[in-house]
Amino acid sequence: MNHVFFSDGNATRISWIIQTNDSIIEQNREHVDIYKNKISNLQSKYVALHIGLFWGIGTFKIKNEDIVKIKLDEKIMFDQLSADLKIEDTFIVNRIKFIKQLTVQRKLKIQFELIKQKDNLANKILEAKELKTKNG
Give DSSP secondary structure letters for 59-101: TTSS-TT-EEEEEES-HHHHHHHHH------HHHHHHHHHHHH
The answer to whether residue 136 scores a pLDDT higher than 90 is no
Comparing 39-53, 68-82, 83-97, 98-112, which segment has the lowest mean pLDDT? Answer: 83-97
pLDDT for 32-63, tens place per residue?
Answer: 999 999 999 999 999 999 999 999 999 999 99
Considering only residues 136 and 96, tell me which one the structure prediction assigns the higher pLDDT. 96
Domain range 2-135, CATH architecture: 2-Layer Sandwich (3.30)
DSSP state of 11: S
Domain map (residue ranges) of the chain:
2-135
Give pTM, 2 decimals.
Answer: 0.92
Question: Residue 5 CA to chain centroid, in angstroms?
Answer: 7
Exposed/middle/buried for 42, CB within 10 Å: 0-12, 13-18, 19+?
A: middle
